[in-house]
Amino acid sequence: MLTWKSILTFADKGTPIPDQTVTKTDEEWRAQLTDEQYRVTRQHGTEAAFSSDMCSLIEPGVYACVCCATLLFDADEKFESGTGWPSFTQPVKENVISYHGDSADGMQRIETRCNTCGAHLGHVFPDGPEPSGLRYCMNAVALQKIEVV
């Protein structure tokens, strides 16, 4: 189980190597993604709070990166944080997310990116529920929900 201490270590020393990498040109990303998905994932934007019904949708399934389809989160780790963005306590594997210090907007945060394709996902904070205490605060447009069959 990842903890805040392990997240800070990854942000400082580097994230575990991903299982694979996906690289595309800017033109390929623009052709694949909607304008909002591109703005958030490729330009490190943030969608408006409470703009997606994914926040309160708690049902079985998994969540993948909208850019490369890498599995990122299981719905079993999802919770309603009240923040306006989908929130999770743990990724499906230690190496699917990369962590980067982010001091934009005068805040000290840890940015999360897909470790496979580099898509901006959101941020992780140390104010989630136990036992990990983590809250992965994700942009809904950066995720695609996949039903479990």
User: What digits encode the pLDDT tens for the residues 26-73?
Assistant: 999 999 999 999 999 999 999 999 998 888 788 889 999 999 999 999
Q: Is 137 a known active-site residue? A: yes
Q: In the chain, what are the domains?
A: 4-146 (2.170.150.20)
Q: 55, 114, 117, 137: which is the annotated catalytic residue?
A: 137
CA distances from 38 to 8, 45, 112, 121, 142 (A): 27, 9, 16, 11, 9
Residue 147 pLDDT level (bands cut at 50, 70, 90): confident
CA atoms within 13 A on the CB side of 113: 24
